[in-house]
Chains A and B, each alone.
Chain A
């Protein structure tokens, strides 16, 4: 992100981090009428919520929702560290893996199940995948990771992770990779036929080598822009690693874009929503989480974002085409080969971090 180029002197690190990496959704000065209205601050990826639901919630409960976006998991962590666990934030949406750390740092508030009646709508299997999270967070959306590419530019068929990690010559500088060791390092391991959660030095070494060789083809390690200005849409980027829903969104913008989940299998991820320990609007936060889990709203959210919902009550409200989309709901053969993130001992995590950092820095 360009903001980092302003990072010049380390003693000015913190203020600059705050100023330049956090964008506030509603930048207009709050009106005097709304001053009395409660404000619920939501900390989330950009383009990862549905505006209709927010509008209806604000109207229904006479609240104002501020959205604070993060661009990467890392920036999300830094912001939380710098705000001592998210002071000023009420609700956080993020990966189950990161929430496990937050819980250890006591940044997440434990959830009173009674205050969220719609929790019964959540398929228990999504909660059971991360037992440590059950007292603290509610599954938000789940999905896979795949490859989005320009089928008009990439002429050879794309079906394997190796098509991304060991690309043909014309793809030089035409690839964008997700700046995340779980996805990029994990799927490199997968491409080589190893487990995405491998910690053996040899397999990590092989993956490091694969990533190093891929570097000349990668224009940047970042998440692809999902708007109409996206470089994949404009054609500057020909291939990118992308979460499945986002891949489908891009395909909707430009029909030349194709999205596939590679045959080797993929990461299965689940994002959760939780209330921050530091939140002063915990009651309203419960209401909000409960609100988005009504069958209709859950269906609305999933279909708007092209991700599968862990809320089983939403299914009747979803269109058949949505439900049959294998990009959203992968076939069983793919699912069998796919893996969810495992938890490592800290020092093994450290090693994986080091491998990843060595490659991308």
Chain B
């Protein structure tokens, strides 16, 4: 509605202003023209008046002249009464009547005696003669016997009470029958002819009706005899006229009764003056009429154009806008309906098309947004949101059809190593491949894999990426637990196969936890939590396996969490101590070597085995703090021993793979060495084989850096796990520590002896030191010694001892 008003508000003035402009211009032009035309009409009227009146005067004067010479009239006026009345009156009357018939405007023809007696009157008007004796009347007093010319003047005819124009001639004659020759002619009487001066005013009727002219006819003494408009203030006009300098036929403006007039005046003859007055206000009638017409026209135009514009605007703009507005409302409320595209080729049509396109785009981008919201960008799998959205509904459905439902939760073993070592892009690529492989583990038709299927809950299984390397599966419509197990096995099998990514062959594994509805929980959160716990259980069971959730797992988890908390306290309260197990060199008696081993004795539970708390410290990341502490303590003790004079000394410290993968091993080692001003050659880092193999390149890089610091590197527990001889060549290691398993077997297992032989042969060839761990008996020592291993560690010589006792071992041995 506001747009309509605005458009009308703009368009109506656009239409109206030209009309008003033309109207005003035309009004002024008409006023000007009317004034000009009035002046020219006045001039022409004045000329016309002059000609007409003069012609009337001349004609009547001619008549009077001829009549005065007429035989009968002369006879009559010179005869005595007898002759006049018995003899001449009738013929003369008839004669004058005939004359009057020819000149009807000479309505009164009279013969008067010098004393004013009206001798004869011929008139064609019906009125009564007031008196025969005109001697006292003003008109007779005007007659001058001395003037033998024809006089004329205006007077008031008392007989018919109207203005009259009288022509008169004094008849000065001899009596032809009685007067002797030469007798002075005497005044016999007057011949007078009266005409009505109306012919003057009648001229106005010939003028156009819209020319509002008025005439005033006066005599020389300004006595008014005739006017076309009795309401005019005649005396005022004459006064103004005589007082002002208006003269001649000049047209001048004058104000009368607060109205504007044009006035001109002319003397037609010595006794007749005519004023012409034109009411200019009345002249402007045409202009005023026009202005009224313009106003009416404007109103009509405004009304009709408003109506037309209203209809046009409504039809071509407002209605489409309302449709668009409704469409926009629908869109804002999420109803993306198809918008009928307008066929109009105007801007509104364009807007419509743009809007339809926008709606279409919005529809598809909304779909994308929804997919983003519900699906993982990377793998295209449903995300965590979809998981929680769907699981509740699947649970409801399972309730209805009495089927089982399982939640599978897992992450990828060693994913962090790959991500850090090969870069995030490679990690992402791996996740995409993992997603594909998981999908391959399930029947396509079972999967809820797109938004439509999410909404309609079409399918029974859902795979979702929960974030990072974590995946969760919902398996519904299960008839028994074993179906879930089969799927778990399938997943494990699939993920165990190597991934070929960008020419890298990558091995990962997965630890899978399963939770069943309703046995392992009734809410999605509980089910997921329990699957998670089961997954931890699987991890703690050595990875690459799966576990069904059991209530006991909760206890284990709780224990672990308790232990983790205790470790934090232990770090704070410095509850850890280092024990040192001597490593005896068979070649050099002066050589002092220890392996630093952590010992934790808590106030509450007493001694806690490193086998119990180190894995938890590694999983929780606390191993970094513990590792730093161990390194520092070992350096401090070593420095102390060096300061006591034991310079041929080397201490080996266990370095967790977590420290290499997640910590900053270079800085940590450098800081510890610097802190205690210790020569790096006194420190050896023991690293397990498995920790290095997770990310070979990263491991090599770190090891090289550490080597550059000057510390020695030992490969711990060599011979178990994936032990690869190729590593020995690639890794910059100084020492091989042969796993105690070989030492335990060596006396009774020839295979072990052969492996041992090979290791020692290889080490010798590669110029690596070899350390035999777990040597407990003399026979073991003898065998190993025989095979050429130079450094022995084990209970045969000593168990791990507190620092002072450990040094005492070497002093007694030296002394012994």
Contact = CB atoms under 8 A, between A and B. Distances in A.
Interface of A: 4, 7-11, 13-14, 74, 77-78, 81-82, 84, 97-98, 100-101, 104-105, 181, 346-347, 349-350, 353, 357, 361
Given A101-B83, A105-B87, A361-B94, 8 more contacts: A9-B102, A13-B70, A77-B87, A81-B71, A81-B88, A84-B177, A101-B87, A357-B89
Contact of B85 (A7, A8, A81, A350): A350
B91 A357 contact: no
Interface residues of B, number: 27
A81 B99 contact: no
Contact of B81 (A8, A98, A347): A347
A4 B98 CA distance: 9
B99 A357 contact: no
Contacts of A77: 87-88, 90-91
A8 B87 contact: no
CB-based closest 4 A-B pairs: A346-B81, A349-B85, A101-B86, A350-B85
A78 B89 CA distance: 11
14 contacts: A10-B70, A10-B98, A77-B91, A78-B91, A81-B71, A81-B91, A101-B83, A101-B87, A104-B80, A105-B83, A105-B87, A350-B85, A353-B93, A361-B97
Contacts of B95: 10, 13
A349 B66 contact: no
A183 to B, nearest CB: 14
A81 B86 CA distance: 12
B797 to A, nearest CB: 186
B interface, over-half SS: helix
A98 B90 CA distance: 13
A77 B88 CA distance: 8
Contact of A346 (B72, B84, B91, B97): B84
Contact of A7 (B81, B84, B89, B98): B98
A181 B86 CA distance: 11
B346 interface: no
A57 B102 CA distance: 48
Contacts of B105: none
Contacts of B80: 104, 346
B71 A13 contact: yes
B441 interface: no
B87 A81 contact: yes
B71 A8 contact: no
Contacts of A10: 66-67, 70, 95, 98-99
Contacts of A346: 80-82, 84-86
Contacts of B91: 74, 77-78, 81
Nearest to A81: B75
A166 to B, nearest CB: 23
Contacts of B87: 77, 81, 98, 101, 105
B32 to A, nearest CB: 52
Nearest to A105: B83
Contact of A104 (B72, B83, B88): B83
Contacts of A8: 102
A123 B79 CA distance: 35
A98 B93 CA distance: 18
A15 B94 CA distance: 17
A11 to B, nearest CB: 6
Contacts of B90: 74, 77, 181, 353, 357
Contacts of A84: 177
B185 to A, nearest CB: 19
A101 B102 contact: no
A347 B66 contact: no
Interface in B43-83: 66-67, 70-72, 75, 79-83
- Of B80, B83, B85, B88, most buried by chain A (CB within 10 Å of CB) is B85
B81 to A, nearest CB: 3
B85 A14 contact: no
A219 B95 CA distance: 22
B13 to A, nearest CB: 75
B685 to A, nearest CB: 166
B96 to A, nearest CB: 9
B86 A98 contact: yes
Contacts of A105: 79, 83, 87, 177
A11 B94 contact: no
Interface in B702-756: none
Given A13-B95, A78-B91, A81-B72, A353 B85 contact: yes
Interface in B297-326: none
Given A78-B91, A357-B90, A357-B93, A104 B75 contact: no
B704 to A, nearest CB: 159
Interface in B88-127: 88-91, 93-95, 97-99, 102
Contacts of A347: 81, 85
A151 to B, nearest CB: 34
